[in-house]
Structure 1
Amino acid sequence: MQNSSQWAEMTSSSENCSFTAINSLAWSLQLGLSIPTFILGLALNSLALFVFCCFWRKQTKTSVYMISLVLADILLLLSLPPKLYYSVTKVPGLLCSLIQAPYFVNTYTSIFIIVCITVDRYICIRHPFEGRANQSPRWAVVICCFIWAAAWICSIPIYVFQKKEPIKCFHNMSDQTWSVPFIVSVEVFGFLIPLAVMVFCSAQTIWILLNHKTHDKKSVEESGSLRVIVINLVVFLVCFTPVHLGILLQCLVRQHLIVSCRMRQAISLFLQVSMTFANLNCCLDAFFYYFAAKEFCKKAHLRRAIELCPVLNPCALRWHCQRWENAPCQDTDSAVPDVAGPVP
């Protein structure tokens, strides 16, 4: 009887738990993070798309991946204003689905394209001759189309499971959306497997570069490969780990494994803020474009783009172009040294 009474009290407390203050705080934090992310990210990605399409005349696998990544980031950024507005305004469930689907589709498209770039870089460094000989963009186009198609197909549950009555988007999703099989699939296939591939390829590539560094320190330092690999992995971990941890915790809440009001409020705030924090990846992807600029300087006439776009810093970019013109360039997003050592 005592256990039944305690359970009834916990259930009653759970039902009376208010999220009004939490949602208001979360929306203020989202607004403060999303506005600069939207402005800076849209400017950087629009410039990158212009440069990739107009000045990278020889298309390679990496250029295809990067153009796809830029498009995914731009579409994700364009979904931020309606996401912010409709997260505090009630609209029919179908409209919420049309708003939520592009946001999640472009998020996971970005994740998988980043993984493809990492794998491509690993292959070019682990097998440099085969990697350079196989730079046809055809397979990259096929892979990118498959990623986009798979992401949209996997977004079908957002439409099927959505509530029909007016709701605030990104809130109060149906129980089917938070079902254990669906969330486990999102966690495993949308984050854990890409993370495992990222860690493996990055670790193997770093090992090869560090071994090569003892023999030819200058070439590796000039290439910048080691730096961009580490930055890429750190950005991936920092941007996408919190949001998937938040999704897992929210699933436990919806399965009534976490019933404490204070814990539920904390998890709700953490999930909403971590989703916004993950959007910073759209700005941090600019590191890819910065190191790819070496390719433009030598093969795509980036200095012409600088002359056409006076808002860029000509002095700084000219110094980098002059420095990179003396460094080896390959058809990858960063220079790849001629190494192919044993991997543990």
Structure 2
Amino acid sequence: MTCPNASCMEVNATSRVNCPHNMTSWEEHMNSLYTYFYLLIFIPGLLGNSIALWVLCRFISKKTKAIIFMINLAVADLAHVLSLPLRIYYYFTHSWPFGKGMCLLCFYLKYLNMYASIAFLVCISLQRCAFLMHPFCAKKWKRRYDVRISIVVWLVVGLCCSPFILMRTNSEQQNGTSCFKDLPTRKLKLGTAVTMMAFGELLGFVIPLIIIGFCSYFIVHSLQQSTQAGYSVNDKKRALRMVLVCTGVFLFCFTPYHINFLLYMMVSQDLITECTVRQAVQQFHPISLCIASLNCCLNPLIYYFLTTEFRQQLSRHGSSVLRGRLMSLESTSSYKE
């Protein structure tokens, strides 16, 4: 396969199978897709997660009902959102003047956000389900337990995401000006590649999906039973809505990527040689990554619509800030007159 420009470097570096079709046109469309999509989600993601952190950290005194996990989820989303301007710059200008370290950091943050989001969505679902099933345990639960769990989650997810950057190297032919999708992928032994694919799919998608599914089942089952001590039917319905929305975000954002992930790894390691399949997998890969990035905008909706205290605090303090701003403008206007 021949590619007349540098944008096809990843295809050349990762695919030693020669296919007759030309990917140049799709590479150009892919750059535009990334540019406009990241522009589209940057402002909503930045505002939504910044406001969420402001409310969750400052105005919610009771760090219960998965609030700590929501804070960590917002931090994970915000870290990825803050890297989007550099991604937009690269896909718009086709150059990377910020150095290899910054490139790999931004590349790493995308996958760290994805799998940290998955982990904390699982934590939120598990905690809501466990507290509903065992209300007396919920009363004894301490805030520091959630903090410790969050630290462990960050350490485990951070370590498990390291292969994503270890698999990538800068292209010497492009003098370090390439980044993200244009970074070539290292060739692995068959056993290593299969192990990584199985590990990533099981821990990153299949097991979390099973856990969230069981949480939904147990809550639905509890609704069909007599009301447990300490929780009303409305409490159970709110818990069910929380878990179901977490499940919906999980399935919508991360299922397309993980379905395509196995095939993409097989293509990059030349385990799939059929040219039509290779082209379809390579073309769907950026689309699946864009869908996965939508979680940065969807997660704040979980805080607002499913957490009553968050909604009350945002309404109360948002109104106070607005009133203060209006009074300031009025006093300034009166002074000028």
> Do they superpose with TM above 0.5?
yes
242-251 vs 258-267, which moves further:
258-267
1:173–1:80 Cα change, 3 Å: farther
Matched, 1:116 2:104: no
Counterpart selection for 2:252 from 238, 244, 252: 238
8 Å contact kept, 2:74–2:300: no
**Residue 95 of structure 1: CA displacement?**
4.5
> Counterpart of 1:193 in structure 2: which amino acid?
I
* Deviation of 1:50 (Å): 0.7
**TM, length-normalised to structure 1:** 0.76
Write the mapping of 1:3-82 to structure 2, written as runs, cut at 5 A. Answer: 14-60=18-64, 62-82=66-86
CA apart distance, 1:209: 2.2
Q: Which of 202, 205, 209 in structure 2 is aligned with 1:195?
A: 209
Greater shift after overlay, 139-148 or 19-28? 19-28
* Cα distance between partner residues in 1 of 2:35 and 2:238: 35
- Residue in structure 1 matched with residue 113 of structure 2 by the alignment: 106
Match of 2:194 in 1: 180
Select 1:142's aligned residue among 148, 154, 169.
Answer: 148
Asked if residue 154 in structure 1 is aligned to residue 166 in structure 2, the reply is no
CA distance in 2, matches of 1:69, 1:187: 21
Between the aligned partners of 2:57 and 2:75, the Cα distance in structure 1 is 12
**Corresponding residue for 1:170?**
181
Shift of 1:211: 4.1
Which 5+ residue runs of structure 1 have no aligned equivalent? 1-10, 312-344
Aligned counterpart for 1:275 among listed residues 289, 301, 316 = 289
Measured in 1, the distance between the counterparts of 2:263 and 2:185 equals 15
CA displacement 1:8-65 (0-9 Å, x = unmatched): xxx9972554322122222323333322221112111111111111110222361211
| Paired amino acid for 2:106 | I
Q: What one-letter code is carried by the residue in structure 2 that aligns with 1:83?
A: R
Contact 1:109 1:148 in 2 (8 A): yes
* Residue pair 2:201, 2:258 contacting (<8 A) in 1 also: yes
Deviating more after overlay: 39-48 vs 254-263: 254-263
Q: Are residue 204 (structure 1) and residue 210 (structure 2) matched?
A: no
Q: Write the distance in 1 (CA, Å) between the matches of 2:224 and 2:32.
A: 44
User: Alignment partner for residue 316 of structure 2, among 304, 316, 323?
Assistant: 304
Q: CA RMSD in A?
A: 2.8
Question: For 1:140 and 1:61, how far apart are their aligned partners in 2?
Answer: 10
* Cα distance, 1:13–1:54 mapped onto 2, change above 3 Å: closer
Contact persistence 1:77–1:282 (CA under 8 A): yes
Q: Which moved more, 1:134-143 or 1:248-257?
A: 248-257
Residue 130 of structure 1: aligned partner: 137
- Is the CA contact 1:41–1:282 (under 8 Å) kept in the aligned structure 2? yes
SS in structure 1 of the partner of residue 51 of structure 2: helix
**Equivalent residue number for residue 3 of structure 1:** none
Aligned amino acid, residue 307 of structure 1: S
TM-score (norm. length: structure 2)? 0.77
Cα–Cα, structure 1 residues 156 and 284, in superposed 2: closer, same or farther, change >3 Å?
closer
Using a 3 Å threshold, how does the CA distance of structure 1 residues 90 and 16 change in structure 2: closer, same or farther?
Answer: farther
1:116 offset after TM fit, Å?
0.2
Tell me how far apart the structure 1 counterparts of residues 272 and 315 of structure 2 sit (CA, whole Å): 57
Partners of 2:225 and 2:284 lie apart in 1 by 41
Q: Counterpart of 1:256 in structure 2: which amino acid?
A: D
Could you tell me which residue of structure 2 aligns to residue 229 of structure 1? 243
Q: List gaps (5 residues or longer) in structure 2.
A: 1-14, 324-337
Q: How does 1:245-324 map to 2 (within 5 A)?
A: 245-296=259-310, 301-310=313-322
Cα deviation, residue 93, structure 1: 5.3
Q: In the alignment, residue 126 of structure 2 is paired with which amino acid?
A: V
The letter of the residue matching 1:136 is: K
Identity of aligned residues (%): 32
